[in-house]
Amino acid sequence: MKRFRVFLVGVVLSACLPQESSATPIPSSTANQITATHNVEVPQSSSTPIVIRTVTSIPSEASELGFELPPDCSTFDPSIHSVYYHDLSHGACNHPALSPDGAHIAYARLMITESGEIVQEARLFSTSSSESIPIYTSKCGILRPEWTPWGYLVISDSPQDVGCGHTIIYDTAKGEILEVLDGAVSRSGDWSSDRNSFFTVSPELFGPVCSETLSGFDFNASQTIPTIKPISPNTNIYVVIGDPVWSADNKTLSAVLRDGICSNLEKYECTYGNSYILSIIFSETIPVITYPYYDPAMDYSFAKSNQGKLEIHSAPSKVINCLEIE
């Protein structure tokens, strides 16, 4: 089966919409509300349409969140066209999330770069001092912050379509970014059920995927998983077959890999040998990589049973090309 990773492409607005806005600054009397705006064009006999701005008010303490939103969520930049705000989750900010200790709210808001580009910026709001600081600017388009039980901030940076993706790990105690991993966990990865570990796979592309990277972070050990490299002789790339799977106790991540070599990656001229099973064991010390099922003469795969256990399957190995990867 040929594998093509395809996503519905959202309409890119930044290239076709003006950055000027007729938005009216929100009066201080409405500072406790989030104001979402919508433009409605009313047909007129004149060649120039009249634009009427309608306003919908949303309480600043969103019922589904259970906490008061930062002032940025009700502050709309008049220099940014109102249509850019339509896809944000809560007024003028996106995906606000309260830290486990209640000390911070992480969220994303829109900003204009020095080059005039409208992008999302991740910010950290202190619930005690009411100060907000920037911590990361999107490289791909859409930011989604979330917290771990340990109080680390994890931000997924993903595009509207494909071709880009990062996961940012921020330590609030140190006030710095610890790691930036390839692939966005909210889109091309998954958390362990206790949310103490996660993995990501490198961003999807249009067309066949001939080379991938499997990454991850262990918050119990406060470090990334070791770099995964091909182990088969005379290979320099690998692909992840199917989806990696967590064990029921959250201590092991298993994945099926195929190592390969490319004569021309851009033309998908790559060949791959046997598939094998890699396991990453998570503990309170360091993550450890093992290879429980590897045999150059066999292709290994697995399926998860109804009881949550892995059922291992094997077959004689065969050489395949990039277009044959499932």
Q: How confident is the model at residue 268 (pLDDT cuts 50, 70, 90)?
A: confident
Residue 237: per-residue pLDDT: 94
pLDDT at position 61 is 52
| 130-136 contacts at long range (C-beta below 8 A, 24 or more positions apart) | 130/71, 132/70, 132/71, 132/72, 135/170, 135/177, 136/168, 136/170, 136/177
* Confidence (pLDDT) at 62: 54
Higher pLDDT, 226 or 63: 226
Over residues 174-202, the pLDDT tens digits come to: 999 999 999 999 988 999 999 999 999 98
pLDDT for 234 equals 92
Predicted pLDDT of residue 161: 77
Whole-Å CA distances, 276 to 22, 235, 269, 281: 59, 14, 22, 16
- Compute the average pLDDT of residues 128-155: 95
**In the chain, domain spans:** 184-326
Q: Is the pLDDT assigned to residue 59 strictly greater than 50?
A: no
How far apart, in whole angstroms, are the C-alpha atoms of residue 206 and residue 314? 30
DSSP 90: B
Summary mean pLDDT of the chain: 82
Percent of the chain topping pLDDT 90: 61
pLDDT surpassing 50 at residue 242 = yes
Q: Mean pLDDT check: name the lowest of 51-55, 70-74, 189-193.
A: 51-55
Cα 7 off chain centre by:
15
Q: What pLDDT does 103 receive?
A: 96
In the DSSP assignment, the letter for residue 178 is E
Mean pLDDT of 62-67: 72
pLDDT at 17: 41
Confidence of residue 126 (pLDDT cuts 50, 70, 90): very high
pLDDT at 3 over 80: no
Stretch 104-129: mean pLDDT, rounded? 95
CB count in 10 Å sphere of residue 4? 12
